[in-house]
Every structure is written in structure tokens, then in C-alpha cells.
A and B are shown apart, each in its own frame.
Chain A
Amino acid sequence: MLDQFDSRIDPTFAPVDRQRLIARLQEALPERGLITKTEGMRVYETDGLAAYRGMPSVVALPETTAQVSAVLRICAEMSTPVVARGAGTGLSGGALPFPGCVLLSMTRFNRILAIDAQARMARVQPGVRNLAISEAVAQFGLFYAPDPSSQIACSIGGNVAENAGGVHCLKYGLTVHNIQRLELVTVDGEVLEIGGDALDTPGYDLLALITGSEGLLGVITEVTVRLLPNPVHTQVLLAAFPDVRQAGDAVARIIAAGIIPAGLEMMDRLAVNAAENHVHAGYPVDVAAILLCEIDGAAGDVEDGLSRVGAICLEAGASEVRQARDEAERRRFWAGRKGAFPAMGRMAPDYYCIDGTIPRRRLAEVLTEITRLSGVYGLPVANVFHAGDGNLHPLILYDAAASGEVENAEALGGAILELCVAMGGTITGEHGVGREKINQMCVQFSTAEIETFEALKASFDPAGLLNPGKAIPTLARCAEYGAMHVHNGQLPFADLERL
């Protein structure tokens, strides 16, 4: 499995004198700022992709930017790899420890430093939880828009590192569209200000480059986010469909009609049933798929928008269309959607969440192909996803205890991602490449493109110490994966039209 790093095709580093490393880090860190015992490091073994496990050399828990600088300087001097970690909710193994690394936990950076309601900005430390920002600014009638389903737990630093999205991204954008300024510590301990309080800065757009860089370019020690005023009125509509293709079609038609919903989410039969059993959201159960469409704005526009959406859904073949009767029901509808992942935990011992994006117009085609693949690999797949953005989250249900099922799930996941690429999409919409999709990077990008990514990384981190073996594959890995993967000179899905 991919949690094993392979010295032939992954980066390698000379062994480090652990005692000396510990002694030097102890000097740089506050009391109880360094964990060296295996028992204490267990919780850092894995992130949200629990199938992948690894042990760091030590865990560092800095509290200030100066301490982060000091730790990085020591690691740079001792050529020790460093893996930054936020809340550890990442689903691609981005925070998976690299063997012998210093795991740099940012959880103690947990303060909101300043709220400027007039400028609609908040300056926060990276360990602050996503939802905590919206909670803190609610008193000013403001909120922070990107809302990953993990928002009660995930950190804003992790959000920036992954360019996280959420249910409301269709209208309000991703993390990259909602941040303004970062403080970044580079591997040699230098503190950089990236972005600023004005809407742009001179020179290259480093803010955009750092966002989504998965801890490969530097450690984020401060984030200034933009805030939005809470909408006056919000309403959600639920539409049920006897066929997933009709639901996919309705999505394309809603967007084509010029409506920009605040959220447009889809769940298929398996997901609907699981969520309903778990959360009792009030979903109709005997259906192939449901759509949740939220519109916000002035009352008249919300009403008008939803009645147009309702009509489009009925035209596309919906068997039922209904609006939440009150705020409590609206919240229940969303609770079902946000609780769909945990609900899957009740359907099977394990589930594996995939994260590809495709052009919306190919939704129906892709869902059909996923159903076929699910049959081929013999593992059920439930679909819960950000339909408005074409961002799929097939959930593969498996049993890690059953022999071969982990590898089988991994292989099915890979096949689904390559399907997304073949359809003109991408291997990751919001969860990041991390360790998980390192091989599929070789499918989506050419050698020259991967060389460019490597060179970009080297321009920040010449020795490649920051989060090695993640996000950007080595060319050796791509060569091996390609040789293994292209059978008889044929690409996967050779029968599908490519973009």
C-alpha cells in the first residue's frame, strides 16, 4: 500500500542522529512541546485516510512563529524531513508521517488574533478550526464562506494547504478566493508575508501558489481571511429522482438557466438510505437520487429561484419536489448531507472517499461508469457529492479485515480517478493529492509538467525536506507506475472519448 515509502521511487534522506535531533529541538521548543515516546505519537500516525499509517521520529508542538522558524532551521541543518499537520482530517494522507520525519503539529496555534468587522477580515492562527471563525464573527453578522463538511474539526491552516472547498463554494468560492494574506515560514526559517491587506500585491501571485500547496512549500503560521455578510434569507429545495441520469441532467439545466445556487448537492440511493437511517433527515427513501438545492438572497429572489429550480427538476423527471417547511427542516436536510460520510460507517466496516471532478455535462455518463466499475471490483459504491461543481465523492465500501479488500478498494479508487481524467476532469477537487493520489498525478500530468512542479518546489525547498513523497511524484515513480499500468500500449478507458 501507498503508506509504505519506497526508497527506489520516493525521496530518501540519510539517517539522522535522533538523540541529537531531540536535544536540539528541545532547546527550541517550550516545555511539553516535544513528544518522543511512541505511545504519545500514536495519534499522529494517521490522518483522515486511516488506512495509511506511519511513525514520525518525533512530534513538535510549537506555539509561536519564532519556534516554527527555529524547528525548521534545525531540520534544514540536519537534513531531516518535516511534515506539517493541522487537525489531521485530511483525506489524502497529506499529514501521513514520512519515516524519520519531524511531525510539526500546528494545533497550539489556536487563537483568533484580530477581527476587523469594518474591513470584513479576520486574522487568525492556522490551528483555529474552520467553524470557530464563523462563530466568532457571527456577532457582526458576518461569516467565513468556505465550509468543508469537516468544518467543526479541520483547521484553517489545513484548509489553506489543501485549498479546501465546501457545500457553498459554487457561489462563494474556494479557500483561495476567500483569503487575503498569509504568514509563511520557509524551510530555512525565514518568515515571509504573502499577500497583504490590500486586494493585490506587487509581483507574482504567491498567495495563489501557496494555497493548495499541501505543506510542500512552507509552514503557514498566520492567515487573514475575508468575511461575508450573512444572507438575509436562505431556503433549500429537495428533489427526488427515479434515475440518477435525470438528476445529473437537472444539475446541468439549473446552471445553464443562469441560477447560481448557494449549494447544489446530490446523493444516490445508497447514500440517501444510509443518511436517512443515521440522521433521520426526512429524505424520501425509495429513490435513485436526491438533489439538495439551496438559494440565498432577498426573499423574493429566493422564492423565484427555487420555483424555477423546482420546475426544471420536474421537467428533468423528478418524482417529487419540496421545500423545507421551516429552518429546522432546512437544517435537517443539510445534517443528512453533512452526516452522509459518518453514516456510511454503519453500512460497512470501512469506507474510502474518492474526490474527482468532472465537467458537469458528463455527470450521468460518469455515474453509470462508476456503477459498472463497482460491479467489476465487487465493492459497493455510494455517491454523495458537490454536483454543482461536478466534484464527485464516490464512497467505496469495504472491509479492511477481509483479505485483499484494502488493495481492491485502492485499485477501484484509482480507476475512478483515471476515469475523471479521461472525462476532461481532475483527480482531486478538494481533498488534495497527498500520498493517496501520487500515482494518478502521473496520469494527469506530463513529464515536463511534473518537472515544473518539482522545480517550483525546489525554488522554496531545495533539499526537498517539506512533506516529501506527497503531492508531486518523482519521475522514477511515474516511470514505474506507467510501465505497470499501460497494458499492451493501451490506456485505461480507451473506448471513451477523451478531451
Chain B
Amino acid sequence: MNDATEVLADQVRAAAEDRRALRIVGGDTKSWYGRAPVGKPLNVSRHTGIIDYDPSELVLTARAGTPVLEIEAALAENNQKLGFEPPIFGPASTVGGVIAAGLAGPSRPFAGAVRDHVLGARILNGRGQSLRFGGTVFKNVAGFDAFRLMCGAMGTLGVILDVSIRVMPRPEESISLVFNEDWQASQPRLTRLLGRPLPIDGAFHDGTRLHVRLSGPRAGVLTAAEELGGEHEDPTIWDQLRHMTLPNLRAPGLWRLSIPRTAKLGDIPGEQLIDWAGGQRWLSTTASPSQVTEIAAAVGGHASIFHRSDDDQDVFTRLPKTLFELHKRLKAVFDPAGILNPGRLYQGL
């Protein structure tokens, strides 16, 4: 437990004065994600501790430097969990980094994105002012949801100080089923299944087999498992998927495509792991960046280089000009001097 707000605020104020870039660092487990970090490190990992956790409120508030594993352990003791199943790339990984990266795991299409589980946050803006947006309650529409903007902003809009997260009870039962079939067969199967009220909270295709996870109250899960057929498998495969320890998922150059679940993605060389029931594709390919970007855009989606392989790379799909101009104005609202993680999301932001 340590509150480093003042120390961090002083550092931000000093950097703002000299217009020096700061590179916000939590556990430093995702420096390969996004565009290359620049600037002097601002170390948030000494701003730690769970500030408030009352299981009956389903809310946990923690300082940004708290290891996310510590949070998961506290939740597990009360039979609760983080509903968005963030990938964790090392024991040092902090909750602030998890929120800033905005990455959600296999449950994303069923339980929601990171921003759907965040209720509020306190941040330092680029002037070193401490601001609190949102709160600790689920229903709250006072003021713009500036805290949700922090999710996935890669630290470009503020240094997250504390965050309040809506947590979920662990499911009473969870079963993993596997089907030996190609994606051509799996896609219509999933469309059929997802049109019905089944307790599905994960569906991925590894290239040769479809894996479906059922979670929830026991009776519903058991009935559904019986009806769906397939073979039972060891559910720990979902942890490997979540933390991306399955083969190839941690390789530099890996692409992430986010596309409509029911879309038919055009042909592209290489290997794909299809998660989110079709909505998220992990792609290792020899195709050129423009080919990959185009094939995703053709079906209404977008592509990003998940694991940067060189430091001059642009990684996220470019925004249309009006939207990018709006992004720059939003950045200036929070960080007028442009010192917080500059360029981590886009060049010039």
C-alpha cells in the first residue's frame, strides 16, 4: 500500500513545464504493444494497493500500480473475478496498464469490453491535476464518461491513478467442449447457437477445431453441454488463450483483426486463430500491411499489428481525417503540452 499521487503529480508538472515527454510505466510487460514508447519513464508501479473492496457491492477500487494478479487473488478469495478476462503478460503487470491497454479476453463478446467494467477513475492530466470521473456505482450518468475514454487510450490522455472496476461472481459451473471441424462448418454452427439463450461465454477456432465454453448456473450449463454434443476438454486451454500462451500468439509481427462476427473474411496467406466467435482474428502472415488492413476494412473491421516487430512501425489502422482531428483536440483537452505517452497510439497524438 502506497499513495504516490503527489510524487507523480510533481513529476508530471515538471515535465509539462519543460515540455518533456513522459513514458508512463506500470509493470513494463506490454512495451511491445502499440507504437514505440518514448520519453523519460514515469514509474506508476509504486502507487499501489486495493483501496476498497466490498464483495457485496461487486466493486473493487485499486491504485493503478497494484499488480493485477494481486487483484485477481483478492477476488478469487471471494469467488469473484474480472469479467473482461484481460490477458496478463507477466507477474509485474499492473491494473493501470491493463485498463490503459484496454485488451479484453475470450469473454469479450459475451461479457463486454474493459470500458464496460470500469465505473470510474482518478487520473492525472498532462498538467498534473488530479481529476476523478465516474465513481464506484454501476449506474452513474453525471458528466461525460471521461473514464471510459482512458480504456484503450494507451496512456495518451492521462496517468491513471486509481480505478473502480465492476467485478463479477465466478460462474457456478464451467465446461469446455471441442468440435473437430473447420471454420466453414463452425461459423454457421455458432450463428445458430448464438441466436439462442445458451450460457456460452467463449468460442474460438484454433485452425482445426472449434472450442466452446459454457459458464453459468449449473443446471443451464449441464443441459446445454448435453445438447451441444462435442467432446469435453480440459478448460485450462481458455487460460492459455486468454494470456496468449498458445503457439504463435506471442510472436512478433502477429496481427489482430477485429471484424464483424458473421463476416466472411477474404483469403489471406498464413495462419489464423479465430476468437470472439469470429470477431477477433489472430493472424500470422507474410502478406503486406496494406493487404491485411484492406482485407479487414473490406468487411467493416480493422487490423493492428499486435506485437510490434520494429520501432518505427505504425501499428493501428489510420483514422479518417476528421476523426483524427477530433482525436487531436481530445488529446489537447487532457494533455495540452502533449507530454503523456506521445505517439504511443498514433504519430502526432
| Partner-B contacts on A (CB < 8 A) | 116-120, 140-142, 162-163, 165, 169-170, 173-174, 176-177, 190, 192, 196-206, 208-209, 211-213, 228-232, 252-253, 255-256, 258-260, 297-301, 304-305, 357-361, 386, 389-391, 424-433, 437, 441, 444-446, 448-449, 452-453, 455-457, 459-460, 471-472, 499
Closest to A359 in B: B57
B341 within 8 A of A: no
Given A202-B302, A305-B217, decide whether A456 and B333 contact each other with a Cβ distance below 8 A: yes
- Some 18 contacts from A to B, beta carbons below 8 A apart, are A162-B141, A176-B148, A202-B316, A203-B323, A208-B151, A229-B196, A297-B199, A298-B199, A298-B217, A300-B219, A304-B217, A359-B137, A390-B139, A425-B135, A428-B142, A441-B142, A445-B142, A445-B143
Q: Are B217 and A297 in contact (CB under 8 A)?
A: yes
Q: Are A199 and B144 in contact (CB under 8 A)?
A: no
Give Cα A251–Cα B263 distance, bound, in whole angstroms: 43
Q: Are B56 and A449 in contact (CB under 8 A)?
A: no
Q: Are B131 and A448 in contact (CB under 8 A)?
A: yes
Of residues 177 through 220 on chain B, the ones whose CB sits less than 8 Å from some CB of chain A are 191, 194-199, 216-220
Question: With a CB–CB cut-off of 8 A, which chain A residues contact B198?
Answer: 229
A-B pairs with lowest CB-CB distance, top 6: A300-B219, A298-B220, A256-B56, A258-B169, A301-B217, A429-B139
Q: Are B144 and A209 in contact (CB under 8 A)?
A: yes
Q: CB < 8 Å: which of B59, B148, B318, B333 contacts A459? A: B333
Q: Are B113 and A301 in contact (CB under 8 A)?
A: no
Given A198-B302, A208-B115, A297-B217, decide whether A361 and B195 contact each other with a Cβ distance below 8 A: no
B289 within 8 A of A: no
B70 within 8 A of A: no
Give Cα A410–Cα B133 distance, bound, in whole angstroms: 26
Given A120-B195, A357-B139, A424-B135, decide whether A211 and B219 contact each other with a Cβ distance below 8 A: no
Q: Are A453 and B144 in contact (CB under 8 A)?
A: yes
Q: CB < 8 Å: which of B79, B129, B324 contacts A448? A: B129
Give Cα A456–Cα B280 distance, bound, in whole angstroms: 31
Give Cα A118–Cα B148 distance, bound, in whole angstroms: 29
Give Cα A192–Cα B191 distance, bound, in whole angstroms: 30
Of residues 131 through 160 on chain B, the ones whose CB sits less than 8 Å from some CB of chain A are 131-133, 135-146, 148-149, 151-153, 157
Residues of B within 8 A of A (CB-CB), count: 85
Q: Are A209 and B219 in contact (CB under 8 A)?
A: no
B329 within 8 A of A: yes
Given A391-B139, A429-B139, A432-B141, decide whether A198 and B260 contact each other with a Cβ distance below 8 A: yes
Q: CB < 8 Å: which of A118, A206, A357 contacts B137? A: A357
Question: With a CB–CB cut-off of 8 A, which chain B residues contact A177?
Answer: 112, 116
Give the tally of cross-chain contacts (CB within 8 A). 247
Closest to B129 in A: A448
Give Cα A8–Cα B67 distance, bound, in whole angstroms: 49
Question: With a CB–CB cut-off of 8 A, which chain A residues contact B318?
Answer: 202
B256 to chain A, nearest CB (A): 10
Q: Are A199 and B148 in contact (CB under 8 A)?
A: no
B242 within 8 A of A: no
Q: Are A203 and B316 in contact (CB under 8 A)?
A: yes
B216 to chain A, nearest CB (A): 7
Q: Are A360 and B141 in contact (CB under 8 A)?
A: no
B258 within 8 A of A: yes
Of residues 155 through 182 on chain B, the ones whose CB sits less than 8 Å from some CB of chain A are 157, 168-170, 172
B91 to chain A, nearest CB (A): 27
Closest to A253 in B: B56
Q: Are B56 and A455 in contact (CB under 8 A)?
A: no
B259 within 8 A of A: yes
Point out which of B55, B116, B135, B197 has the most chain A C-beta atoms below 10 A from its C-beta. B197
Closest to A165 in B: B139
B63 within 8 A of A: no
Given A173-B112, A305-B217, A449-B131, decide whether A429 and B140 contact each other with a Cβ distance below 8 A: yes
Q: Are A299 and B219 in contact (CB under 8 A)?
A: yes
B27 within 8 A of A: no
Question: With a CB–CB cut-off of 8 A, which chain A residues contact B345?
Answer: 203
Give Cα A430–Cα B142 distance, bound, in whole angstroms: 9
B319 within 8 A of A: yes
Q: Are A230 and B197 in contact (CB under 8 A)?
A: yes
Q: CB < 8 Å: which of A192, A204, A427 contacts B149? A: A204
Give Cα A212–Cα B133 distance, bound, in whole angstroms: 14
Q: Are A192 and B113 in contact (CB under 8 A)?
A: no
Question: With a CB–CB cut-off of 8 A, which chain B residues contact A200?
Answer: 113, 152, 258
Q: CB < 8 Å: which of A208, A298, A301 contacts B148? A: A208
B300 within 8 A of A: yes
Q: Are A452 and B333 in contact (CB under 8 A)?
A: yes
Q: Are B141 and A163 in contact (CB under 8 A)?
A: yes
Give Cα A317–Cα B79 distance, bound, in whole angstroms: 26
Given A360-B56, A425-B135, A452-B334, decide whether A120 and B219 contact each other with a Cβ distance below 8 A: no
Q: Are A198 and B258 in contact (CB under 8 A)?
A: yes
Question: With a CB–CB cut-off of 8 A, which chain B residues contact A204?
Answer: 149, 152-153, 157, 327, 330
Closest to A229 in B: B197
Given A298-B223, A300-B220, A424-B135, decide whether A361 and B141 contact each other with a Cβ distance below 8 A: no
Given A163-B141, A229-B196, A428-B141, decide whether A199 and B115 contact each other with a Cβ distance below 8 A: no
Closest to B52 in A: A499
Question: With a CB–CB cut-off of 8 A, which chain A residues contact B143?
Answer: 433, 441, 444-445, 449, 453, 471-472
Give Cα A426–Cα B113 distance, bound, in whole angstroms: 23
B148 to chain A, nearest CB (A): 4
Given A140-B195, A173-B112, A197-B260, decide whether A252 and B142 contact each other with a Cβ distance below 8 A: no
Question: With a CB–CB cut-off of 8 A, which chain A residues contact B223?
Answer: 298, 300
Question: With a CB–CB cut-off of 8 A, which chain B residues contact A196?
Answer: 300-302
Q: Are A202 and B317 in contact (CB under 8 A)?
A: yes
Per-residue interface assignment for chain B, residues 17 to 45, with 1 indicating a CB less than 8 Å from any chain A CB and 0 otherwise? 00000000000000000000000000000
Give Cα A89–Cα B39 distance, bound, in whole angstroms: 50
Question: With a CB–CB cut-off of 8 A, which chain A residues contact B131?
Answer: 446, 448-449, 452
B284 within 8 A of A: no
Q: Are A199 and B157 in contact (CB under 8 A)?
A: no
B338 within 8 A of A: no
Q: Are A360 and B57 in contact (CB under 8 A)?
A: yes
Q: Are A427 and B142 in contact (CB under 8 A)?
A: yes
Give Cα A301–Cα B153 distance, bound, in whole angstroms: 40
Given A199-B108, A305-B217, A426-B140, decide whether A229 and B195 contact each other with a Cβ distance below 8 A: yes
B343 within 8 A of A: no
B326 within 8 A of A: yes
Give Cα A263–Cα B319 distance, bound, in whole angstroms: 40
Give Cα A428–Cα B144 distance, bound, in whole angstroms: 12
Closest to B145 in A: A208
Q: Are A199 and B57 in contact (CB under 8 A)?
A: no
B236 within 8 A of A: no
Q: CB < 8 Å: which of B141, B152, B262 contacts A433? A: B141
Given A202-B302, A297-B220, A428-B140, 6 more contacts at CB 8 Å?
Answer: A196-B301, A198-B259, A300-B217, A357-B140, A359-B137, A427-B142
Per-residue interface assignment for chain B, residues 298 to 341, with 1 indicating a CB less than 8 Å from any chain A CB and 0 otherwise? 00111010000000000011110011101101101110000000
Question: With a CB–CB cut-off of 8 A, which chain B residues contact A230?
Answer: 197
Q: CB < 8 Å: which of B115, B260, B324 contacts A205? A: B115
Give Cα A448–Cα B146 distance, bound, in whole angstroms: 13
Point out which of B112, B142, B279, B345 has the most chain A C-beta atoms below 10 A from its C-beta. B142
Q: Are B113 and A199 in contact (CB under 8 A)?
A: yes
B78 to chain A, nearest CB (A): 9
Q: Are B149 and A208 in contact (CB under 8 A)?
A: yes
Give Cα A446–Cα B259 distance, bound, in whole angstroms: 40
Q: CB < 8 Å: which of B102, B138, B333 contacts A455? A: B333
